[in-house]
Structure 1
Amino acid sequence: MSSDDLEKSRTPRSAADRLLTLLKTRGPQTASDFGAALGTTGENARQQLAKLAAEGLVEAHAETRGVGRPVQLWQLTEAGNARFPDAHAELTVQLLRAVQSTFGPAGLEKLIEARESETLAGYRREMDGIASLKERVSKLAEIRSREGYMAEWSEEDGAFMLIENHCPICAAAIACQNFCRSELAVFQEVIGPDADVERLDHILAGARRCAYRVVPRAA
């Protein structure tokens, strides 16, 4: 799923929603960039961004790009990011803490292992019959988008990039980062033995997205 397809699939209800989605999927942009993406002028986009800034959803910062005046880039604030749901965040964190306090770290690890096994089994069912690496990466992006990760993929220099622009379990992952370790293991399993999966960007490390590089192994 390309970033354009991803944005269309969310069918935003207004120009403001579309701006927020563009920021989520593409990162910091100028008003002119937004105008081009929305089929309007940079000034119209700037007015929409100013309204969102007044609501505390976006903010601007200046960035120097070579010679000339600094460029004004717009990005999501913490409140803007919160518009993209973290599935049942508070309840999930409470349950994780309850499991750890009741059953200890070993009990929490068993819970993560059970989730990993269930996730892997489901992904394998959906991947059944898909032979090529390219198609497996594409299918994985489709599955993850359906689960709320706003995923997309691309092919670059003989390798593949899997991008997840949102983490619907971010609160759980912050409470227990073994969820992230588990997901990386699942990706490697479903992609298969003919490629290596490497995490390049990580939301929990401060990146705006999680990015994975899938590199075919030498025959």
Structure 2
Amino acid sequence: MNASSEKILRLLKTRGAMTAQQLAVLLNMTSMGARQHLHHLQNEGLVSTFDRKEKVGRPSRYWQLTTTAQQHFPDRHADLTLALIDNVRELFGEEGLQQLIDKREREAEANYSRELAALPELGARLARLAELRSGEGYMAEVIEQSPGQWLLVENHCPICAAAASCRNFCRSELAIFRRCLRARVERSEYILDGARRCAYLITALPAESA
């Protein structure tokens, strides 16, 4: 892999999804040159695209890392996380690990609830939740599917190692979303089942969609 492609992967890792034009400016090359590198990376399964609506004009095409690309970035935190989970299991058993997950769930729910409580519309709550999750490293975005229905997409999972070791972390997050959004939430894509991302179908409850 050439140096420019390596730089693109690092930029997408550190800054999140970007357009070819944005990458071209940072790399001091033409947009066409950036796209050539991006298409090469796409053929290798390292990047993918999605379209995002802008305030003015047509949707813009953004490029993001795939799960495969994450292997290019060694993660010692994952090893530490797995070691800690194993130690908790050894010392306190599955019950102790569940208590740890429950505590994390309560703290996360309290934080999200504070941020979302003043937002009466589900769409606004979703947008704010996506901002909070992106700040935590999930590269989240919201895509409106139809009136009263959205897709919450998380393009990266910073707790993937922990979730793979104990899927109760994922069940905990699903429960948090349902309570904080006050909506019907169903997981439609799941990284641990082989998907590129995690995605949740969010549907307004009858009282709110009326």
TM-score calculated relative to the size of structure 1: 0.69
Shift of 1:25: 5.3
Using the alignment, how far apart are the partners of 1:184 and 1:210 within structure 2? 11
* Structure 1 residues not aligned, in runs of 5+: 1-12, 27-32, 61-74
Give the Cα separation in 2 of the matches to 1:87 and 1:151.
23
**Partner of 2:59 in structure 1?**
none
**Which one of 94, 98, 105 corresponds to residue 116 of structure 1?**
105
> Which one of the candidate residues 9, 18, 31 is aligned to 1:40?
31
Equivalent AA in structure 2 for residue 179 of structure 1 = F
Change over 3 Å in CA distance of 1:20–1:116 after alignment to 2: closer
Query: Residue 44 of structure 2 aligns to a residue in which SS?
Result: strand
**What is the match of residue 146 of structure 2?**
157
Query: 1:169 and 2:159 equivalent?
Result: yes
Deviations 1:176-207 (A, max 9, x none): 11100000000001001xx2001000011100
The equivalent of 2:136 in structure 1 is 147
- Cα deviations by residue, 1:65-121 (Å, 9 ceiling, x for unpaired): xxxxxxxxxx8573x223568682111110001001111111111110010001101
Matches of 1:142 and 1:116 in 2, distance apart?
Answer: 18
Check if 1:181 corresponds to 2:166: no
SS in 2 for 1:156: strand
Structure 1 match to 2:53: none
| Structure having greater relative contact order (Cα 8 Å, sep ≥ 6) | 1
Q: Secondary structure at the match of 2:185?
A: strand
CA gap 1:127/1:19 in 2 versus in 1, 3 angstroms: closer
SS at match of 1:109: helix
Matched, 1:198 2:186: yes
Identity rate, percent: 43
The one-letter code matched in structure 1 to 2:200 is Y
- Tell me if the contact between 2:185 and 2:202 (Cα under 8 Å) persists in the aligned partners: yes
Q: TM-score, normalised by structure 2?
A: 0.72
**Is the CA contact (8 Å cut-off) linking 2:151 and 2:202 kept in structure 1?**
yes
SS in 2 for 1:82: helix
- Relative distance call for 1:16 and 1:99 in structure 2 (3 A) is closer
Verify the 8 A CA contact 1:149 1:164 in the aligned structure 2: yes
The aligned counterpart of 1:72 is none
Q: How big is each residue's C-alpha offset from its partner over 1:132-171, in whole Å with a ceiling of 9 and x where there is no partner?
A: 1010000110000000000000211120111000001111
After superposition, the CA RMSD in angstroms is 3.4
What letter is aligned with 2:44?
E
**Are the structure 2 counterparts of residues 196 and 88 from structure 1 closer, same or farther at C-alpha, using a change threshold of 3 Å?**
same
The answer (yes or no) to whether the contact 1:59–1:76 under 8 Å persists in 2 is: no
Q: Distance in 1 between matches of 2:139 and 2:74?
A: 11
Give the total of aligned pairs.
179
Distance 1:25 1:44 in 2: 14
Deviations 1:13-39 (A, max 9, x none): 9545457789x859xxxxxx9689967
Decide which of 83, 87, 91 is 2:80's aligned counterpart: 91
